[in-house]
């Protein structure tokens, strides 16, 4: 009984920081409609800055001043970020916003490493709250009691801010209807900046408040952002009260999970989230979100399958690739195999995010499931490699079928957050179920059969598996099913009105994409000879998104080009610098802001412009020049006028 009480109090204390972070995330989303992936980074920055400041300012006053000052400093950084980056992408598809803020997260990770070094840092105890208070015969740390009281106080403070101040009322109005604020003559730009600053302040304060409890470390950002996503998904995106209730729920589940069900404690939270989503898709306190601003993958240039001539070129490329073992060394061949595997991974994600308009932030889970599936087949059943490569993807298909069934009932950022959370479940299982998966130590000794043991042979095997899989994915895109998938992406309303079952179509696409990713994972396991949980962590998922984006999200061949360029670039970067994340993050941000069409999309634009100029008379050239002029200036990324806006113009 006493133990239960202690766990309960610990859970409540942990809820405070989680609530601060989640409410900040929620407030920012409510007004700007941006899901700020960098929120975890701000939380971490808050902790690091607070560590430095508490070192400088000591004593009771100094300590508390340091915490607040840290939050304020980070909030200013947040405002600067909003003004320089986010203002450019408010109109962009949600995926781009998530990716850009993830890019910032990557950069912050390396910046923190540069400034504070790699060690965990232990901050001071809170002056006056270093002791413990005896309650029911158990000693509860005073600082925990302080945090427990702080949560409701912040909630009340936010309530007052939003209901009793002019600024707060404006923010609420903007949350309900953004056009209203513009109509009231309010400077919307600064309102957004202010809201973003407030949200970041809350996150940074949440981080700063952790330093007396926990060592400051580098994993803080991703750990908290996943939990915060779970909290806002459960509580309802945009609801502060929801964030409060859900933060307590999640923290208690964490606290008691360890006590009651230690084996599955990490999974417990996600299971509860899944249940909530089935019962209330928009969270406990949430309302149905407005339709997405712009769907990704919406190409203005209609897709067409490869023409016979292009198929010949593709075949020639495959043949040339097949000759690579003649002139590449062992290491280069291993790298080339890995690139091929990631081409398949990116192409599978492309089916989901470009063709289906569903940007999964947890696609690595199916890559990992395929890898573990293959490993189980080898270790448990003792089957040969080829059987394992065939069987591995089945586990991925099963996982995708289960997750997809939940995920496709949502769309946009909810879909992104849910897939991310589910990938964390899969990761937790791999991490925690040590008996089966080896936990952190992974599964070792997955060597290819003798016939594929040499790097050249394995490369050929990879090529022989990946090429047909890519051809198959290409066929799916241009099959009737592929059209149905694009139809539900382009207009759910129209699709349902002509007899298409959106959920069913998207669920099937989810399973296909997961299976194809699993195939890549199975190959990956044998390429590396081992498999660890980290292969399905968030960075792998985001790598896939960046590959598709780099190649061109609106194009058919983008993922192939994108995966090759990205993977080669990333491997080269890691060999060149210790701060590859900083560069990579900057590349991601630059891509989103300045180069949203990716390599293939930009090339296609050039080709179109060339043919327009070369072909036909001057009138055509003029028309194409017009089209260029009408395009939004680079960096603003206004979506193309949709039929709806045209309608709005003709019928006010």
**Choices 141-149, 257-265, 496-504, 611-619 (CB under 8 A): range interacting with other proteins:** 496-504
The verdict on 642 binding other proteins (CB under 8 A) reads yes
547, 563 contact by CB (below 8 A): yes
Q: Quick one: which of 490, 534, 605, 620 contacts other proteins (CB under 8 A)?
A: 490
- Note every long-range contact of 471-477, with CB atoms under 8 Å and residues 24 or more positions apart, other chains counting: 472/516, 473/347, 473/348, 473/350, 473/351, 473/512, 473/516, 474/305, 474/306, 474/556, 476/351, 476/512, 477/303, 477/305, 477/351, 477/355, 477/556
Choice from 487, 571, 573, 612 touching other proteins (CB under 8 A): 487
Choices 146-154, 316-324, 436-444, 644-652; region in contact with other proteins by CB under 8 A? 644-652
Q: Which residues are paired to 139 by β-bridges?
A: 134
**Would you call 4 helix, strand, or coil by DSSP?**
helix
- The yes or no reply on residue 398 touching other proteins (CB under 8 A) is no
CB-nearer residue toward other proteins: 233 or 359: 359
Binding range to other proteins, per CB under 8 A, among 83-91, 365-373, 500-508, 519-527 = 500-508
Q: Work out how close the CB of 600 gets to other proteins at its nearest, in angstroms, rounded to a whole number.
A: 16
What is the pattern of x (binds other proteins, CB under 8 A) and - over residues 452-481? -----------------------xx-xxxx
Q: Does 277 bind other proteins (CB under 8 A)?
A: no
Segment interacting with other proteins (CB under 8 A) among 189-197, 239-247, 275-283, 297-305: 297-305
Q: How many residues bind other proteins (CB under 8 A)?
A: 44
C-alpha to C-alpha distance for 326 and 335, rounded to whole angstroms: 15
Q: Which of 68, 83, 500, 612 binds other proteins (CB under 8 A)?
A: 500
- Residue (of 339, 332, 342, 357) closest to 519 by Cα position: 342
Q: In 3D, which of 390, 371, 346 has the Cα closest to residue 546? A: 346
Q: How many helices (H) and strands (E) does the chain have?
A: 28, 4
DSSP 121: B
d(CA 603, CA 629): 18
Distance of CA 413 to the CA centre of its chain: 9
Quick check: 299 binds other proteins (CB under 8 A)?
A: yes
Nearer to other proteins, 5 or 478 (CB): 478
CA distance 374 to 392: 4
CB 488 within 8 A of CB 506: yes
Give the footprint of other proteins on residues 300-339 (CB under 8 A).
300-305
Query: Which residues, other chains included, contact 355 with Cβ-Cβ below 8 Å and sequence gap of 6+?
Result: 297, 477, 482, 485, 486, 489, 509
Q: Is 514 exposed, middle or buried (CB count within 10 Å of its CB: 0-12, 13-18, 19+)?
A: buried
Sole binder of other proteins in the list 137, 308, 309, 643 (CB under 8 A): 643
Selection from 405, 401, 414, 397 nearest residue 359 by Cα? 414
| 92-117 core/surface letters (b: 16 or more CB in 10 A; e: else) | bbbbbbbbbbbbbbbbbbbbbeeebe
**Binding flag, residue 484, other proteins (CB under 8 A):** yes
The residue from 57, 116, 483, 595 that contacts other proteins (CB under 8 A) is 483
Shorter beta-carbon distance to other proteins: residue 296 or 593: 296
Q: How far is the CB of 646 from other proteins (least distance, A)?
A: 5
Q: Which stretch binds other proteins (CB under 8 A): 15-23, 184-192, 386-394, 638-646?
A: 638-646
652 near other proteins, rule: CB under 8 A: yes
Q: Which listed range, 299-307, 421-429, 444-452, 534-542, lies at the site for other proteins (CB under 8 A)?
A: 299-307
Q: Where are the beta strands (DSSP E) in 109-166?
A: 132-135, 138-141
User: To the nearest whole angstrom, how small is the minimum distance from the Cβ of residue 640 to other proteins?
Assistant: 7
Q: How far is the CB of 108 from other proteins (least distance, A)?
A: 36
Q: Is 293 in the site for other proteins (CB under 8 A)?
A: no
Assigned token pair, 472: 């198959």
The distance of closest approach from Cβ of residue 351 to other proteins in the complex, given in angstroms and rounded to an integer, is 11
Residue 648: CB minimum distance to other proteins, A: 8
- Contact between 351 and other proteins by CB under 8 A: the answer reads no
Tokens standing for 197?
A: 């600053």
Q: Which is nearer to other proteins, 298 or 444 (CB)?
A: 298
Contact 139, 5 (CB under 8 A): no
Residue range at the interface with other proteins (CB under 8 A); choices 4-12, 137-145, 340-348, 640-648: 640-648
Which of residues 498, 606, 629, 630 is near other proteins by CB under 8 A? 498
Name the residue nearer to other proteins (CB basis): 43 or 507: 507
Compare residues 485 and 589 and give the one whose CB is closer to other proteins: 485
We find the least distance from the C-beta atom of residue 353 to other proteins, in angstroms, to be 14
Say whether 530 sits in a helix, a strand or coil.
strand
Alpha-carbon distance of 204 to 110, in angstroms, equals 18
Q: Should residue 486 be labelled a site residue for other proteins when binding is judged by CB under 8 A?
A: yes
Q: Is 133 in the site for other proteins (CB under 8 A)?
A: no
Kindly tell me which of 494 and 613 has the beta carbon lying closer to other proteins.
Answer: 494
In whole angstroms, what is the distance from residue 140 CA to residue 149 CA? 14
Residues 175 and 33 sit within 8 Å (Cβ to Cβ): no
Query: Can you tell me whether residue 216 is helix, strand or coil?
Result: strand
Residue number with CB closer to other proteins (197 or 558): 558
**Cβ contacts of residue 386 below 8 Å, gap of 6+?**
449
Which positions touch other proteins (CB under 8 A)?
Answer: 297-305, 475-476, 478-484, 486-487, 489-491, 493-501, 505, 512, 640, 642-644, 646-647, 649-652
């Amino acid at each position: 009984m006493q133990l239960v009480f202690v766990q309960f109090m610990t859970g409540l204390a942990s809820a405070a920081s989680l609530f601060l972070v989640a409410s900040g995330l929620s407030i920012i989303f409510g007004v700007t409609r941006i899901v700020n992936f960098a929120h975890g980074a701000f939380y971490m920055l808050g902790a690091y800055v607070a560590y430095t400041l508490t070192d400088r300012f000591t004593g009771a006053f100094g300590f508390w001043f340091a915490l607040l000052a840290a939050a304020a400093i980070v909030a200013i950084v947040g405002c600067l970020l909003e003004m320089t980056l986010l203002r450019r992408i408010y109109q962009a598809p949600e995926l781009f916003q998530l990716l850009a803020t993830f890019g910032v997260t990557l950069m912050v990770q390396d910046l923190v490493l540069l400034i504070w070094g790699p060690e965990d840092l232990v901050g001071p105890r809170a002056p006056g709250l270093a002791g413990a208070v005896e309650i029911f015969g158990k000693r509860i740390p005073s600082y925990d009691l302080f945090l427990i009281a702080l949560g409701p106080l912040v909630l009340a403070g936010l309530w007052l801010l939003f209901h009793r101040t002019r600024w707060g009322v404006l923010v609420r109005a903007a949350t309900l209807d953004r056009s209203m604020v513009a109509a009231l003559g309010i400077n919307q730009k600064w309102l957004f900046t202010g809201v973003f600053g407030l949200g970041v302040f809350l996150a940074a304060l949440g981080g700063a408040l952790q330093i007396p409890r926990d060592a400051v470390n580098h994993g803080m950002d991703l750990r908290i952002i996943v939990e915060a996503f779970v909290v806002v998904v459960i509580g309802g995106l945009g609801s502060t009260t929801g964030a409060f209730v859900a933060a307590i729920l999640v923290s208690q589940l964490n606290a008691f999970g360890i006590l009651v069900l230690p084996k599955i404690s990490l999974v417990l939270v996600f299971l509860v989230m899944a249940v909530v989503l089935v019962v209330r898709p928009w969270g406990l306190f949430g309302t149905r979100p407005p339709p997405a601003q712009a769907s990704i993958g919406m190409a203005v240039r209609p897709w067409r399958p490869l023409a016979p001539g292009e198929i010949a070129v593709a075949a020639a490329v495959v043949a040339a690739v097949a000759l690579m073992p003649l002139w590449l060394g062992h290491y280069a061949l291993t790298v080339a195999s890995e690139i091929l595997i990631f081409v398949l991974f990116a192409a599978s994600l492309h089916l989901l995010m470009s063709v289906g308009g569903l940007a999964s932030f947890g696609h690595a889970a199916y890559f990992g499931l395929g890898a573990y599936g293959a490993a189980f087949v080898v270790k448990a059943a003792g089957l040969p490699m080829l059987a394992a490569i065939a069987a591995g993807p089945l586990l991925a298909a099963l996982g995708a079928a289960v997750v997809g069934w939940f995920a496709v009932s949502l769309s946009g950022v909810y879909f992104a957050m849910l897939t991310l959370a589910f990938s964390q479940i899969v990761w937790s299982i791999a991490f925690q179920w040590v008996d089966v998966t080896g936990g952190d130590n992974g599964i070792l000794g997955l060597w290819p059969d003798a016939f594929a043991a040499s790097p050249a042979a394995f490369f050929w095997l990879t090529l022989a598996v990946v090429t047909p899989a890519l051809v198959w994915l290409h066929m799916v895109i241009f099959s009737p099913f592929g059209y149905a998938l694009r139809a539900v992406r382009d207009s759910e309303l129209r699709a349902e009105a002509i007899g298409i079952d959106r959920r069913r179509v998207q669920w099937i696409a989810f399973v296909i994409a997961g299976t194809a990713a699993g195939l890549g994972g199975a190959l990956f396991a044998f390429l590396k000879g081992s498999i660890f949980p980290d292969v399905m962590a968030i960075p792998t998922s985001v790598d896939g998104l960046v590959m598709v984006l780099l190649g061109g999200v609106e194009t058919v061949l983008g993922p192939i080009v994108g995966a090759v360029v990205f993977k080669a670039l990333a491997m080269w970067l890691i060999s060149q610098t210790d701060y590859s994340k900083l560069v990579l993050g900057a590349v991601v941000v630059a891509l989103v802001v300045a180069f949203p069409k990716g390599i293939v999309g930009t090339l296609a634009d050039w080709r179109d412009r060339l043919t327009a100029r070369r072909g036909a008379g001057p009138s055509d050239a003029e028309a194409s020049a017009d089209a260029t002029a009408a395009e939004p200036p680079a960096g603003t990324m206004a979506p193309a006028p949709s039929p709806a806006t045209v309608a709005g113009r003709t019928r006010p």
